[in-house]
A and B are shown apart, each in its own frame.
Chain A
C-alpha cells in the first residue's frame, strides 16, 4: 500500500519552531522552517540532522514551503539554507517573500547586535536565502517537478498567510500553517475548496477554545481609547511591528474617521513603515472592505496616523501611540511607558500575551510598583487594560475547515498535547476520520488508497457507456476492455486493438456442453420442441432454427443427436464462445431442467 509519512521536527505537540517533513509518493517536502522563541541555544532551530547525517539536504528534499512570515514559521530559513546548506526551491506567497526578510533582519540584529551572539546567520545570508525563494499566487498551481505540484489557499491570520496543498498524482496533503476562520478589520477568513486531501495537517493553537464574537472586543477597545482621549489622557499601545498592529491601526483610523476625532495617533517608526508599505501594495490579500474602497483611498494610507518622534511623548494633550515591542520589556514602548505611568488619566492597552518576567506581565498581573534598573521605583498610576486580539482559528473554526476540505485523515500540530487530545477525539467522533498528533521526531504513517488513472480511448468509452443505463457519477461502472501496462502508463483498449498492438493472434475459446434429454421422439421433432421452448422463454433474443437441423440463440449453437445406445435419450450439444459465457451457462442450466411436457 502506498503511504504518506509525516514527521514534525518542530511544532509537534508544541507551539513554535514549526517544521514538518512530509513524504508523499516518493517526494519529500518540508513545511515551514521556524525558530522557537523560548530557547536561545541549539534547541531554537529544528534538528536538521534528522533529515540526513551527511550529504546535502538538497538531495533529500524536493522543496520547502513557508506558510507565512512569522518567525516561528520562517525564522530558521537562512540558517537552514545557507549554513546547513539547501539549494532547492523555497516556495512562499508574494507578501511573505516581501516581508519575511525584514523580520529576519530584525531578528538577526537583536540576536547578534544586542545579545552579541556569534555563529549566527548574516545579512548576506538572508539575501542569498531569499534568492532561492519562488513566489506563488493564490490558487496558482505550481509544478515543482513533473509529479509534485503545490497550490496556495488564502488563510487569513496575517498578510500573505497561505495554506498549501501538496499533490502528487492522486495523493494530496493540505498544510494549513496558521489560519483564521473569522475575518478581522484588515484580513478575510481562510477558505479552501472541497479538495478532499488524503491528509490535512492543521494547526490547533486554540483546540479547546470557542471564542466570543470579535465585535465586543473591538467595541471595548474603541470605547476605552475614546474615553481616555476625551478625558485628555494619553493612550499607549505596545505592539509587535507586524500583524495585529496593522489591524489595530485600521480599527483606530476608521474610528477616528467616523467619529471625526482630532487627537493625533502616532506609530513608532522603524520596520513598521516598511511593512506598512507592503500592506499598501498587497491590497488583494486584504478583506472585502479594504479591497472595495481602495479605489477611492487605500486604507493603509493613514490619514490620522503619523510617524512618532521621541519628542512627541512630552507634548501636552491627548494622543494615542503605538510603540514596539509588545511586551514592554525594552525599547521605545518602555520609555514611553515610564514617562506616562505616573498620570492616572493615561492608559496602557496590552493587545497580546506577555511572557513572564516582562514589565507587561507584571502590570497585567496587577503590580502597581515596579522596580526599574538603577533601583528606581516606578509607581504605575495609569490604567492598565488587556485586550486579546489573536488571529488563530478556534475549535469551531478548525472543525469548519475540516468540514470544508473533507480530508480522509487529519493531523494536528502547533498546539499543546492536552488540548490536541480533546480536539482529536472530537474530530474522530464527528467526522469519522482518523486523527493523529505526533510529537517532535515521531513519524506518523498514513496508508492511502490512491486511484490509478487509466487512459481510455473515447470510442471505447462511448461504446461501453452506451450499454445499459446512463452512467452515474456516484456509482462505479463495469467496463470491458484490455488493460495494457506499457512504458509506465496504463491504457484501457478494446481487445482487438490490444491484439493488434501486441502483435498476437486471436484465439477463440469455446465451451461445449452435452445435455441429455429423455425424449423418445425423432431427432428433428426434439429439435423443434427445444426450439419452441427456447423461443417461448428467450423472447428478447434471436432464436433461429437453421435448415441443417441446429438451433442458434444469438451466436450459441445447439445440435441434437440421438444417443448411440439409448434411442430414447437425446444428446443436446451446446456450444458457445467465451464472450457469451453468461448466456451460454444460462442456456445449459435451462436445458438441464428438461423440456416441458406437451
Chain B
C-alpha cells in the first residue's frame, strides 16, 4: 500500500514528463517484457545530468516490476548507485531499492549484502537514512532468518553514533523492528556481538535531539509489541522523560510508563524524598494522572486515555482522582457534590443556595496541604474540565472503563458524569450518557442526581434524548418520588417532542418492570382513581395515558396485588393495549380472566421451554421422514412449515430460529415438488408449463438461500455449508431443466463447466465440513467427479438427475442464537392523505426514519428503495452518519431521501422500502475459514463466483402520496 501511495505522490509531482516518450515506453513494455531491466539500464546510461537520471528513475517508479526481473533491476540500480555523485539521485535509488524489495513474491536476501555494502562509503546523511529504511524493509520481508536480522541490527548499531538525527532515528526504528526478541537468540549470537538491544535503545533516551529520543521510546514500545519483556530498570528513565521539553517525547514516555505498569504492576518502587515505597502500578498511575494537567493537549489526551486501562490500581489511589481537596482561605471546603448529598440525606431537597452557604468550616493545617505533588489528586476533575473536548471525551471514556471494574468508584464518579451532561459540546454529552448507561448496573441514582439527569430530557437534540431514554431503561431508582419524577419529566418530554413516543413508551416499560414495588404506591395517583367516586374514563388515544399504562402494566407483571387497584376501564384498556402494543404490554395474570399464554412461566430455563421443545420435536420428525411415501413427506413438510411460522409469530424469542428452519424446509419442499414433476418422464418440449414450475422453484430456492445466508445474524459455518449445499442443488436443478428444454448441446457446455467449477469451489471452501455430509448430494457428486469431468454434458445431466433424486435430506443444526434482520419504517407512516406537492423537475426531501434490528454492518448493506408508479425504481445509499447505534444489535436510520419526477396529472403513491444488499464475496463462509486457505481459495475462485450481488427486501413497503406539479411559467 505504501508503495502504491508513494507512486501516487510521485505521479503528482512529475507532471512535466514528455508525453511522447511515455507512450513509447508503455508499448515497449508490452512487447518486450523481460528486457525491462535492460531498458532501465539504457535509460540511466543515456542520462547526461543528475536531474535527467532522477527523471528516469521517477518514471520508472511508476510502473510495476515483475517478480522475475526485480533482481536484475536491483543490480542495475546498484551499479548506477556506485557511479553516481549526486546525493539526490542516490537517495532516489535507495528508496527504489526499498520499494522493489517490497514486491510480493520477491525474496530480498540476495540483495541484502549489496545494500549493506552501500552503507559503508556513504557520506550523505539523508541517503544513509534512506538506505537504513531500505534495510528495514528488507529485514521485515525476511522474518524467518534471525541471522540476517542480527546482521542488520549490528549495522544499525554501528550507525547509531552518526551526527544526523535522521540516521539515528532510522537506526533505532530498525533495531525496534528487527531486534532479537527471544532470549535464546540473543545468547546464541553472543559470540558475534553480545548486544542487549534494550540497553542500546535505552542509552538513546538521553539523546540531544528530541526526535531521536522519541524514536528511542517508540523503538522500545515496538520491541514490547513484538513480545520482548521490557526490563523494569527503564522505569526510572522513562519517568524522567515525562518532564521532557518536547511533547512527542512526553507523549511516548506516557505510553512507555503505561506499558511498564502493566508488566510489573506489583513490584515496589520507592517514593523519592521519603522512605516509603509503593506499588509500581500506583506510582505509574500517579505519574500519568499528573500528565492530565500537562501543557500540551496531545499529551493530555494520551494520558487520559491510558488511565482507563489501568485497572490494577488500588482503590485508594483511584478515588483520589475525583477528589481535588477543596479549600478556601486555608480552610477545608466541601464540594458542591458533598453538600448536595448532605442536603439530600438531611431530608431537605433542593434548597436555594444562600450567601455563604458554602462557607468553609474546618481549619487546614498549612503544612499538610500538598498543592501539586499529590499525583493522582483530582486528575479526573481536571480532565473533565479541560479546555479541549478531545481531552474531556478521553477522560469520560477512561472514567467509564474504570467504573466498570470498580463498583465503589462507579458510585463516586456518578456526580461527575452527571455534571458532564451539561457540557457545551454535544459529543461529550452523548458520550457521558452512554458511559452512564454502561455502568448503570453498579449504581443507584439519588433523587437529586436523577433530577439533573432528567433535566436533559428537554434537550433539543434527538440523539441526546434517545440516549437518555436508553439510560433510563437500565437505571436503578431508589425512591418512589424518583419514579414519579421520571414519569413526570418523560411526559413533559412527550408533549414537547411527540416524535419520541415510541422511545418513551419503551423506556417506561423497563422502568416499570424494574421497580414494581416503587410503582405500586403511585398507582392510585397515576390512574387518578378515587375510593368513592368514579372518575371519568381517560382518552385511550392519548399517548401520555398510554405511557402511564405501560409503566403500570409492566410493574404489575411482577406485583400481583396491583391489579386490585385498577378500575374497570383499566382492564378494558389493558386488553386493547395488549393487542395493539403487544411488545410493550406484558401478559398479566388478571383475576377472573384466563391468562393469555399461561404456558410460559418465568421460572423455566430456556431448555425446558415447551415451545423450544416443540420446535425441536417437529424438526426431529421431519428429519426422520425417509421411510415415508413422497406424498406423506410433502404433507409433513407443509404442516411443519405452517407450525413453525405460527410459532415464530407467537414466540418472539424463537422467531429467528423458527423462520430460519421454516425457510429451509420450504426450500426442501420446493425441491421435492420440482423433482416429482411428470416432465422428467416425457420429452421436454411438450411440457413447457410444468417446466416453468420447476425452473421457478429453482429460482425461488436460490433466492431463499441468499436470504438464509445474509439476513440472519448468528449463522455459523455449519449452517452456511447446508445453505450452500441447498444452493448447489438448486443450481443442479436449473441445469437439468435447461438441458431438458433447450435443443442442441452448445449452450450446455458452458453451463456444465460452470457448475463443475462451483462444485469444485464448494469442496475447497468447506473441505472440513464434508465428513458431516454423508450421503448428501454433494458427497455423491464428489464421488462421481472424475466421471463427470470427462463425460459429455448430456451424460452429466443424467448423472445429476439421478444423484439429485437419490440424495438424502441434510439435517440442519441450529445455532445457539439466531436473529432475523428486520426493519421497521417509522416515518413516513403512510397514513397521510395529503399529497406531498412539489414542482416537477425539482427535488423534494422525504424524511425516512427506520429502526433496524440484528443487521450487521448496516452502513454497508442497508439501502433505501423508492418505487415510482411507472415502475421506475431508485436505489439510495444512506450516508454512514445517518445510522445511529442506540443499543447492541439495534440501529436506527434517520435519513433524507430525495424524490423527483416529471409532472403528474394527479397525486399517486410511491413505495419506499429498505433493502439489504449482499455480495457473495463477503460471504460468511469465506470469512470464517482460516486465513491461509482463504487466500488460496480467493485466488483460485472462478470469476463467476466472485461477483454475485443482490438485494433482499426486508421491510414492509410504505406508501407515500406525492404530487409533482408542472412548473409554472
Contact = CB atoms under 8 A, between A and B. Distances in A.
A419 B206 CA distance: 41
Interface stretch (A216-224, A235-243, A442-450): A216-224
A396 B371 contact: yes
Contacts of B424: 185, 254, 289
B941 to A, nearest CB: 48
B381 A210 contact: no
A184 to B, nearest CB: 9
B496 A260 contact: yes
Nearest to A419: B329
B384 A258 contact: no
B327 A210 contact: yes
B354 interface: yes
Interface in B305-352: 324-330, 333, 335-337, 352
A193 B294 CA distance: 11
B371 A288 contact: no
Interface string B189-215: 000000000000000001010000000
B325 A222 contact: no
Contact of A404 (B295, B335, B370, B461): B295
A386 B355 contact: yes
Contact of A215 (B325, B353, B422, B425): B422
Contacts of B388: 288
Interface in A186-228: 188-189, 191-194, 208-220, 222-224, 226
A399 B372 contact: yes
B355 A364 contact: yes
A220 B328 CA distance: 20
Interface residues of B, number: 50
Contact of B460 (A226, A258, A471): A258
A474 B240 CA distance: 13
Contacts of B295: 191-194, 404
B459 A259 contact: yes
A250 to B, nearest CB: 9
Interface string A168-190: 00000000000000110100110
B849 interface: no
A289 B373 CA distance: 31
A260 B493 CA distance: 12
B386 interface: yes
A280 interface: no
A111 interface: no
Contacts, number: 127
Contact of B461 (A194, A258, A387): A258
Interface in B347-372: 352-355, 366, 369-372
A212 B326 contact: yes
B329 A209 contact: yes
A474 B337 contact: no
B425 A289 contact: yes
B208 A183 contact: no
Contact of A472 (B206, B327, B352, B353): B206
A219 B355 contact: no
B387 A183 contact: yes
Contacts of B163: 470
A1 interface: no
B336 A212 contact: yes
B711 to A, nearest CB: 40
Contacts of A209: 327-329
Given A216-B336, A289-B389, A472-B208, A208 B384 contact: no
Interface string B434-455: 0000000000000000001001
Given A212-B333, A219-B419, A400-B372, A182 B355 contact: no
Contacts of A472: 206, 208
A216 B419 contact: yes
B161 interface: yes
Contacts of B373: 430
A384 B353 CA distance: 9
A348 to B, nearest CB: 12
Contacts of A191: 295
B420 interface: yes
A387 B460 CA distance: 26
B458 interface: yes
Interface residues of A, number: 58
Interface in A364-380: 364-366
A389 B545 CA distance: 43
Contacts of A211: 326
B366 A425 contact: yes
A210 B458 contact: no
A232 to B, nearest CB: 16
Interface in A399-458: 399-400, 403-404, 419, 422, 425-426, 430
A284 to B, nearest CB: 14
A288 B389 contact: yes
A223 B336 contact: no
Contact of A217 (B336, B354, B370): B336
Nearest to A474: B206
B245 interface: yes
A1 B461 CA distance: 65
B325 A403 contact: no
B313 to A, nearest CB: 22
A310 B181 CA distance: 79
B323 to A, nearest CB: 11
A283 to B, nearest CB: 16
Contacts of B277: none
Interface string B396-436: 00000000000000000000100110111100000000000
A403 B372 contact: yes
Given A258-B461, A395-B371, A210 B325 contact: yes
B327 A470 contact: no
A70 to B, nearest CB: 22
A332 interface: no
Nearest to B244: A194
A183 B371 contact: no
B385 interface: yes
B713 interface: no
A385 B333 contact: no
Contacts of B245: 194
Contacts of A419: 329-330
Given A216-B336, A400-B372, A208 B328 contact: yes
A472 B205 CA distance: 11
Given A396-B324, A426-B369, A470 B161 contact: yes
Interface string A252-275: 001001111000000000000000
A210 B355 contact: no
B387 A188 contact: yes
Nearest to A473: B208
B366 A422 contact: yes
Contacts of B366: 422, 425
B460 A260 contact: yes
Nearest to A405: B295
Contacts of A422: 330, 366
B293 interface: yes
Given A219-B452, A259-B459, A210 B352 contact: no
A383 interface: yes
Interface in B239-261: 245
A223 B350 CA distance: 10
B329 A208 contact: yes
Contact of A426 (B206, B371, B455): B371
Given A400-B293, A430-B371, A470-B208, 7 more contacts: A183-B387, A210-B324, A212-B326, A213-B416, A220-B353, A259-B459, A387-B353
The 9 closest A-B pairs by CB, nearest first: A473-B208, A216-B336, A183-B387, A215-B419, A364-B355, A399-B372, A259-B458, A208-B330, A386-B355
Interface of A: 182-183, 185, 188-189, 191-194, 208-220, 222-224, 226, 254, 257-260, 287-289, 364-366, 383-387, 395-396, 399-400, 403-404, 419, 422, 425-426, 430, 470-474
13 contacts: A210-B328, A210-B333, A213-B384, A213-B419, A215-B384, A216-B336, A288-B388, A366-B354, A383-B352, A386-B353, A386-B354, A387-B353, A472-B206
